[in-house]
């Protein structure tokens, strides 16, 4: 509901003070009920229950539905339910949620239920709600790993809301541009709302050509970072910094680059974990009554594909006996043990290590899913970026050769970190902390096994992602990757990192079949951070070359 004079103000709900929340809810309840009475009194006698999509009431009811299900504060949940009941008593149809929890890939019963979280998680939930004005589905999936989630939320809050070179509405618009490159309507919808909330011009949302020229100029960097970061040169940077009246400052550009890479990688997480639409966003709720089977064909038009999502894999297509799955885990652990023994016995020469890297880089080009197909950007999302045909391309396709990026020559630790911190204080530190938590995070478990050193496996995943981007670590034996990552896992990794919009539940189910969902989410944290760092390395190296 738009906030016109005398209307709903939602901001007070984010307060940590219960009295302030209660006062805000009373005001919201009065405004919503007044609007509902007006809608009900204007309806014909034979029209009950009245559709709520009149005069902005539907948006307010969807927001209340979200609060009744997803707010970490019990008082807000209960009061929101009471307001919805009051509206229903007036003969107004109220919404119901669609879908089954925060992820289409993870059964709801296996995620953390709001209202049943422990004290540590409640603190995180309350912090997230106070910062974002909602407890979003990304948070509810990431909370499998509270240490990482805390670092993620702190970084995102700083990028979007704390003092920085870019105005607030620019930050959200850049988030929209970045998420749209991967057709991630989930993130686009969230940031459209946030963009308008901080005073952004609605006309900009009609298409990138309606935004200021300065933001339009960022489109080229956005598409290269998202799909082919190895093509970024100092000339691209110079073009942005030296464009007369629409030029970017170095500090602004660093802020923009960090935002772009943050949302490209968050789109990977969103698709990789099958994040569901938010309850109050399109596709997250419906005003239609449930059918006898609790699934109505009309829901399809609202973005809910419940039958398809729940039974995405035909019976037997990826079924595997638990014995086979256990054997897969045992075999992986045995390979890790053998590789460690080989490391201790002999070390490959530098020439051999270089050869193995080139082989792995070349082979990664041919890893693709049988489900791989071109997907057209939807109209509502594609208008937020230009050149919709520009997508991921492997390095050496069509005879194009890109030199290997040697981390020994330009690394995050020795070069990127200090450049970001110098031009956008504290952000280098926040990113560095987030990278380290994701890379080093371990519970020393693998499926049903405990006291396992997983560092070799985590390094293989991280380095495989960087290898796909042409980034090489001289001290790493890339022969280990083929030993530890099987084809179905490589297909999943490459899809989530390079073309996340093509990720399917079948791909998610196909790898590491005996592992916990929390372990698969952990994999996604590695994919997110390795991808973000790879994009940053190419962009920051180009900026450094421009500066020197």
Q: How many CB atoms within 10 Å of residue 409?
A: 12
Reported as type and span, the H/E element at residue 358 is helix 350-364
Interacting residues of 340 by C-beta distance below 8 A, sequence separation 6+? 456
184 among known catalytic residues: yes
Integer Cα distance of 78 and 66 in angstroms: 12
* Helical H segments across 218-288, by residue range: 219-227, 234-241, 250-272
Strands 405-406 and 471-472: parallel
Burial of 73 (0-12, 13-18, 19+ CB in 10 A): buried
In whole angstroms, what is the distance from residue 92 CA to residue 289 CA? Answer: 12
Catalytic residue among 184, 273, 467, 498: 184
Both tokens assigned to 386: 């230009």
Q: How far apart are CA 123 and CA 181, in angstroms?
A: 33
Kind and range of the H or E run holding 150: helix 146-161
- Collapsing DSSP states into helix, strand and coil, what is residue 365? coil
Q: Residue 449 in 3-state DSSP?
A: strand
Q: 328 in helix, strand or coil?
A: helix
Q: What are phi and psi of 127, to 5 degrees?
A: -65, -45
Cβ neighbours of 144 (radius 10 Å): 22
Sequence-distant (≥ 6) Cβ neighbours of residue 175 within 8 angstroms: 160, 187, 191, 194, 259, 262, 263
Cβ contacts of residue 309 below 8 Å, gap of 6+?
99, 104, 274, 505
| Ramachandran sector of residue 303 (left: φ over 0; alpha: ψ -120 to 50; beta: rest) | left
Contacts of 216 (CB under 8 A, 6+ apart): 208, 209, 386
Contact 181, 389 (CB under 8 A): no
Name the percent of the chain in helix, strand, coil, to the closest 5: 60, 5, 35
Gyration radius from the chain CA atoms: 24
Picking from 256, 181, 182, the residue whose alpha carbon sits closest to that of residue 212 is: 256
Q: Annotated active-site positions, please?
A: 184
């Amino acid at each position: 509901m738009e906030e016109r004079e005398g209307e709903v103000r939602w901001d007070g709900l984010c307060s940590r003070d219960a009295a302030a929340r209660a006062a805000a809810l009373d005001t919201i309840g009065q405004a919503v009920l007044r609007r509902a009475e007006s809608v009900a009194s204007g309806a014909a006698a034979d029209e009950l229950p009245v559709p709520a999509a009149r005069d902005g009431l539907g948006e307010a009811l969807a927001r209340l539905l979200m609060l009744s299900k997803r707010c970490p504060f019990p008082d807000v949940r209960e009061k929101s339910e009471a307001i919805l009941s009051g509206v229903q008593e007036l003969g107004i149809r109220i919404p119901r949620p669609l879908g089954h929890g925060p992820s289409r890939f993870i059964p709801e019963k296996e995620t953390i239920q709001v209202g049943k979280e422990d004290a540590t998680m409640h603190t995180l939930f309350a912090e997230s709600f106070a910062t974002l004005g909602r407890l979003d589905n990304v948070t509810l999936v990431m909370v499998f790993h509270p240490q990482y989630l805390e670092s993620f939320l702190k970084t995102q809050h700083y990028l979007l809301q704390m003092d920085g070179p870019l105005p607030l509405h620019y930050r959200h618009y850049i988030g929209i541009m970045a998420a749209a490159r991967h057709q991630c309507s989930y993130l686009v919808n969230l940031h459209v709302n946030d963009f308008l909330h901080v005073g952004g011009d609605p006309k900009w949302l009609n298409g990138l050509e309606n935004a200021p020229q300065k933001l339009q100029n960022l489109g080229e960097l956005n598409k290269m970072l998202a799909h082919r970061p190895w093509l970024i040169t100092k000339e691209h940077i110079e073009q942005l910094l030296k464009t007369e009246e629409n030029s970017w400052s170095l500090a602004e550009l660093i802020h923009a680059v960090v935002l772009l890479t943050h949302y490209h990688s968050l789109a990977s997480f969103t698709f990789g974990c099958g994040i569901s639409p938010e309850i109050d966003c399109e596709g997250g709720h419906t005003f239609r009554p449930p059918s006898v089977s609790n699934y109505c064909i009309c829901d399809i038009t609202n973005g809910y594909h419940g039958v398809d999502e729940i039974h995405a894999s035909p019976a037997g297509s990826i079924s595997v006996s638990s014995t086979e799955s256990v054997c897969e885990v045992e075999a992986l652990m045995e390979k890790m043990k053998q590789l460690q023994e080989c490391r201790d016995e002999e070390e490959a020469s530098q020439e051999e290590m270089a050869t193995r890297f080139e082989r792995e880089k070349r082979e990664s080009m041919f890893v693709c899913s049988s489900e791989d197909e071109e997907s057209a950007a939807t109209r509502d999302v594609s208008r937020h970026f230009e050149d919709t045909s520009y997508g991921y391309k492997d390095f050496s396709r069509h005879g194009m050769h890109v030199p290997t990026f040697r981390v020994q020559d330009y690394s995050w630790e020795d070069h990127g970190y200090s450049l970001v911190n110098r031009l956008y204080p504290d952000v280098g530190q926040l990113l560095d902390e987030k990278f380290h938590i994701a890379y080093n995070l371990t519970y020393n478990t693998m499926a049903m096994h405990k006291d396992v050193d997983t560092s070799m496996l985590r390094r293989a995943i991280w380095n495989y992602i960087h290898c796909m981007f042409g980034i090489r670590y001289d001290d790493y034996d890339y022969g280990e990757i083929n030993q530890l990552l099987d084809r179905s896992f490589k297909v999943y990794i490459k899809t989530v990192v390079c073309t996340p919009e093509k990720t399917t539940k079948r791909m998610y189910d196909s790898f590491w079949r005996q592992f916990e969902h929390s372990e698969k989410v952990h994999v996604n944290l590695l994919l997110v951070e390795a991808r973000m760092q790879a994009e940053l390395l190419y962009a920051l190296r180009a900026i450094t070359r421009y500066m020197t």
